[in-house]
Structure 1
Amino acid sequence: MLSLICALLIHLSHVSASIEDPSISPTPPMGFNNWARFECALNESLFTATADAMVSKGLLAAGYNRINIDDCWFSNYRAENGSLQWNSTLFPNGIIWLGQYLHERGFKIGIYEDAGNMTCGGYPGSQGHEHEDAATFVSWGIDYLKLDGCNVVIQKGRTNEEQFKALYSLWHEIFSNMTSPLVFSQSAPAYFSPDFQTVQNNTDWYTVMDWIPTTGELARHSDDIKVYGTNGHWEPGGHWDSIMANYGFEVRLARYQKCGYYNDPDFLIVDFPDLTIEEKKSHFALWASFSAPLIISSYIPDLTQEEVAYLTNKEIIAVDQDALCLQATLVSQDGNWDVLTKDLANGDRLLTVLNRGEETSSTKISLERVGLDPDEIYTAKDLWTGSTKTVQGTISLRNIISHATAIFRLSSSSLASTPTGMIFNTFSMKCLTGTPHSVGFSNCTGTDSQVWQVSTSGLISPLSAQMCLAEEDGYLSLTDCNISSQYQQWNYTISGNLINRASGVCVTESRGTTRCGYEKDNQVFALPSGVELSDDTRII
């Protein structure tokens, strides 16, 4: 086995990480995974039928070029030499044969393992076998590994977070020493994600998110999307709520994403009967707006023409695969409408609007809220229909069905935008709210006092007042903007801290500003897309 490892894993002088070498996955992966739809009800013919259907239905041509096998593909036991084995009843021709079948048709093949000593389904895990398992996957022609986190054994003297970091970092080191590294899909953050009924703080979640972009190309950050049912037997209810729950986790983490690393809110569940077609399309449009992985978990041969049509929408896929790799962020939330935006590589501005209400409704959105010049004339392209219209000042959205999502590209000759949107605490989900009389955090209602613009010089202003956020003696206030005043200039860090340049203190929910702590819940904030991250980390 050692000779096989040496032959397949060639040491390189420079260890590459996902965000250090975005060429491993320059855009978010697209493809298929069996788990949410079938769980352990898998076999060889499922994957060959899926591949053939993805070719015939145009999904491969649209970019869905990965077919990933999830848990339960294993034999119950390792071979005598310690290597993994596939279940020969489920895969009579073997994983190597299946990989060749997929490669010949233009796909890449992915596989599942677990960082612990046993997978979530009870099969052999990789803990203690990392090098030999990596060598096995390479010898089988595997292109992609999803590494779960069930049954991790915590070594004495380590915290849970430290143990996960050690195991995922080891896999990263192994992959980095390959001539052709596998795409590494990580699950570590999901095992530390917030459950507000039992978890009192998010510190460990944030800590894992701080290092996960350096160890792989994508990471599951929260709960699994709700599955179809037990091993393929339909169990209705809760699927839209599950989509919205993962969406709610995703919007907190935009600061971590850049080309080479992608936040993963989990699978696209296309053929689940309790979802309306508008909910399915919203799921796709929101994930694409995030530049999230687009991994379908459905029975591909039976997808309808309508489902295939939205999944292969070239304009929306282009948003997902945009060269800037930005994750759209929230402009506003008011209980009925979620508005998101981001820049696109050609200078266009994305506008995505979700109707979270239970009725068909109409709304208007000022272009200033999207970070655009209200006096400029823009062309708004509806990415569902391809139709265009000219807009100035505001854009009107009419008769948006409950749980539907409108999605537009806004373009003009000026190609200029300003980072604009909510500033909210990612634990409490309360919004920074600024008026000339008070600055603090309150429930998000979508008012202009909760929509902030951030200048390149670090000034932060609400749309409700021509004034700037300032810090003085531990208090936040709005004062007349003065670009030379460092008390009005702010740095935003990967840790989510908003730090005053003059005093070095952090914005702190309910306390104005205080000394910066380590990943403290009341000091971690989400800011609008496009705000430049600072290296300033004044942790005391």
Structure 2
Amino acid sequence: MALSLTRWLLAATAVLPQVSGSILSPTPPMGFNNWSAFMCGLNESIFIETAHSMVDNGLLAAGYNRINLDDCWSTMERATNGSMVVDTEKFPRGLPWLTKYLKSLGFIPGIYTDAGLKSCGGYPGAYGYEEIDARDFASWGFDFLKLDGCNMPTGTQAEYKQVYGKWHKILSSLPKPMAFSESAPAYFAEAANLTDWYAVMEWVPEYGQLARHSRDTLVFNSTLYWPDITGWDSILFNYGQEIRLARFQKPGYYNDPDFLIVDHFDLTMDEKRSHFAIWSALSAPLIISAWIPGFSKADFEYLTNKDIIAVNQDKLVFQSTVVSQDENWDVLTKSLSNGDRLLTIINKGKSTASYSVSFERIGLTTDQHVRVKDLWSGKSNVAKNRVTATSIPSHGTAILRLSAVHKSLGRVIPTGKVFNTFSLTTLTASSAGLTWGSSTGVDAQVWQALDDTTIRPLADSRQCLTESGRGKVELTHCNKKLGGQQWDYLYSGNLRSLSSKNCLTESKDHGVVMEKCLYLDNNQVFALPSGVEVVKD
């Protein structure tokens, strides 16, 4: 049975101080990686100049304490003893010197390799050399490994699991365990059948601290394989992949929508700020991949916003989930460890506009006034019944922290969309019955997951999602004595009836039906609001 969100928050807050010491990365990593800005054009001076700029402009003090090398740092051949050979034209003083220097400034250095026969850039891969490479990376002073997944011998999901599992065992056994960034899911993310993607996403949290789940955020040559793409398109694409996966995130493991590409040439300042705000609301890793010494004062100001970083680094590390979506607006919420509630509103439209959200949609049950802090301006106001964000620019994002004026916000109900993470259709209530439809942002597509494990449409919270027999699902008057109204949300993404043990399904004709539970089937994997307990079956 699912815990209430309030009880879950209290339990999580109580255990966090005890468990955080055993977790390699208690909050999402922050820092720098060279790939998006420089790709194979990396060298020693880039990392030295970047490190000093991060110190001088407050990024290190704000928490961006990792500096990671990406692909192409080696020569094209291994040494006779099997070790990778550092390219001394790019790194004339060697990598041990560089890691020591970065550590002297206060940074944690990280390095890249590939799980396959060759890296994505054509350099030696680590397949068959895992122990040698891990030993070398540790001896050179690295504390973080990004493992890419190009050029695997067969490319099957089972092979990725075996190889990444081997790396997990090796890195965990080092005298000083190394943080592990896994790129395996990205190689299954856009398949015609997402079963393997879901399968990879189930095991990566057990092996590492973060996993890049889909394609790269835009790099400067991406238009060669993705024509007519803009930086904003890239941000929204990876965000769209991320919101399918909230059930996997937990303290110590973070879904990774890839780098902050905040100096990409076609991003406006509002889009850059949105990029940072959205990633922060998701509690995603904040790894900047850009030429940091070239940043403006305004760039450093928003990237070091203490209130927004605090949301990203919140101890619960909940990933914000979608309350509603339509053509122009995405609304997301999550709870924070002190009981506050985060509200994020993304303006995807072409003009500046305001947007209002009811307390019910935010998951609040209080009829009292609530303090609303705009995390961009730092200014607060008091609201009752509704929260309004004014003058959100085109492609801008409002990020608001809601707290109690007196005592606490009270009971919070996980509230938001229920959607199929394959077809992206949304569970919709109507007078004609239940359907799977495109997101339009109406109350009939916003669902409450209550303490008693019932699921109810915001449009009429007296009605409950009900398995009514013979494969049918409908809305009926909520009745504790009536079977078929209690549900478990499984780690696999299945929404399972406690009564029949069958699962909610989107049929081939987009009908809402019940069928025998299938493992990671495209028609049975759903995203639910943040705060719903996920049950491992």
Q: 2 CA distance for matches of 1:327 and 1:436?
A: 33
1:40 corresponds in structure 2 to 40
1:77 offset after TM fit, Å?
1.3
Match of 1:521, SS? coil
For residues 189-227 of structure 1, the C-alpha deviation after alignment (integer angstroms, 9 at most, x for no partner) is: 000002xxxx32111100111111101000000000110
1:459 corresponds in structure 2 to 454
Match of 1:50, SS? helix
1:72 offset after TM fit, Å?
0.5
Q: 2 CA distance for matches of 1:319 and 1:131?
A: 38
Match of 2:523, SS? helix
Query: How does 1:347-496 map onto structure 2 within 5 Å?
Result: 347-373=339-365, 375-412=367-404, 413-415=407-409, 416-435=411-430, 437-465=432-460, 466-473=462-469, 474-496=471-493
- From 186, 193, 203, the equivalent of 2:189 is 193
In the superposition, relative to structure 1, how do residues 342 and 22 fare at CA in structure 2: closer, same or farther (>3 Å)?
A: farther
1:22 offset after TM fit, Å?
5.6
TM-score when normalising by structure 1: 0.92
Match of 2:484, SS? helix
In the superposition, relative to structure 1, how do residues 20 and 533 fare at CA in structure 2: closer, same or farther (>3 Å)?
A: farther
Q: 1 CA distance for matches of 2:114 and 2:22?
A: 24
In the superposition, relative to structure 1, how do residues 443 and 281 fare at CA in structure 2: closer, same or farther (>3 Å)?
A: same
Q: 1 CA distance for matches of 2:228 and 2:364?
A: 42
Match of 2:112, SS? strand
For residues 336-355 of structure 1, the C-alpha deviation after alignment (integer angstroms, 9 at most, x for no partner) is: 11000000001000000000
Unpaired segments ≥5 residues, structure 1: 1-18
Q: 1 CA distance for matches of 2:395 and 2:53?
A: 29
Task: Supply the AA of the counterpart residue of 1:414.
Answer: S
In the superposition, relative to structure 1, how do residues 230 and 494 fare at CA in structure 2: closer, same or farther (>3 Å)?
A: closer
Q: 1 CA distance for matches of 2:483 and 2:311?
A: 37
Q: 2 CA distance for matches of 1:263 and 1:290?
A: 9
Task: Supply the AA of the counterpart residue of 2:259.
Answer: F
- From 303, 306, 325, the equivalent of 2:295 is 303
Query: How does 1:17-416 map onto structure 2 within 5 Å?
Result: 23-154=23-154, 160-194=156-190, 199-229=191-221, 238-373=230-365, 375-412=367-404, 413-415=407-409, 416=411
Asked if 2 retains the 8 angstrom alpha-carbon contact of 1:459 and 1:483, the reply is: no
For residues 234-261 of structure 1, the C-alpha deviation after alignment (integer angstroms, 9 at most, x for no partner) is: x995111011100000000000000110
For residues 76-110 of structure 1, the C-alpha deviation after alignment (integer angstroms, 9 at most, x for no partner) is: 11111111111011000000000000000000100
Q: 2 CA distance for matches of 1:449 and 1:126?
A: 51
1:483 offset after TM fit, Å?
2.7
Q: 2 CA distance for matches of 1:274 and 1:29?
A: 26
Q: 2 CA distance for matches of 1:236 and 1:526?
A: 30
Unpaired segments ≥5 residues, structure 2: 1-18
In the superposition, relative to structure 1, how do residues 292 and 230 fare at CA in structure 2: closer, same or farther (>3 Å)?
A: closer
Match of 1:123, SS? coil
1:532 corresponds in structure 2 to 533
In the superposition, relative to structure 1, how do residues 20 and 86 fare at CA in structure 2: closer, same or farther (>3 Å)?
A: same
1:485 offset after TM fit, Å?
3.4
Asked if 2 retains the 8 angstrom alpha-carbon contact of 1:468 and 1:479, the reply is: yes
Match of 1:507, SS? strand
Asked if 2 retains the 8 angstrom alpha-carbon contact of 1:22 and 1:259, the reply is: no
1:376 offset after TM fit, Å?
2.3
In the superposition, relative to structure 1, how do residues 511 and 393 fare at CA in structure 2: closer, same or farther (>3 Å)?
A: closer
Q: 2 CA distance for matches of 1:64 and 1:483?
A: 50
1:437 offset after TM fit, Å?
4.1
Q: How many residues align?
A: 507
Q: 2 CA distance for matches of 1:27 and 1:149?
A: 25
Asked if 2 retains the 8 angstrom alpha-carbon contact of 1:44 and 1:90, the reply is: yes
Asked if 2 retains the 8 angstrom alpha-carbon contact of 1:21 and 1:260, the reply is: no
Q: 1 CA distance for matches of 2:483 and 2:529?
A: 21
Asked if 1 retains the 8 angstrom alpha-carbon contact of 2:28 and 2:285, the reply is: yes
Worse-matched range after superposition: 132-141 or 430-439: 430-439
Asked if 2 retains the 8 angstrom alpha-carbon contact of 1:435 and 1:464, the reply is: no
Q: 1 CA distance for matches of 2:399 and 2:333?
A: 10
TM-score when normalising by structure 2: 0.92
Q: 1 CA distance for matches of 2:30 and 2:98?
A: 19
1:272 offset after TM fit, Å?
1.6
Q: 1 CA distance for matches of 2:268 and 2:481?
A: 53
In the superposition, relative to structure 1, how do residues 174 and 486 fare at CA in structure 2: closer, same or farther (>3 Å)?
A: farther
1:178 offset after TM fit, Å?
2.0
Asked if 2 retains the 8 angstrom alpha-carbon contact of 1:423 and 1:450, the reply is: yes
Asked if 2 retains the 8 angstrom alpha-carbon contact of 1:278 and 1:403, the reply is: yes
Match of 2:126, SS? coil
Q: CA RMSD in A?
A: 1.6
For residues 103-147 of structure 1, the C-alpha deviation after alignment (integer angstroms, 9 at most, x for no partner) is: 000001000000001101111110000011100011001010000
Asked if 1 retains the 8 angstrom alpha-carbon contact of 2:436 and 2:512, the reply is: no
Match of 1:204, SS? helix
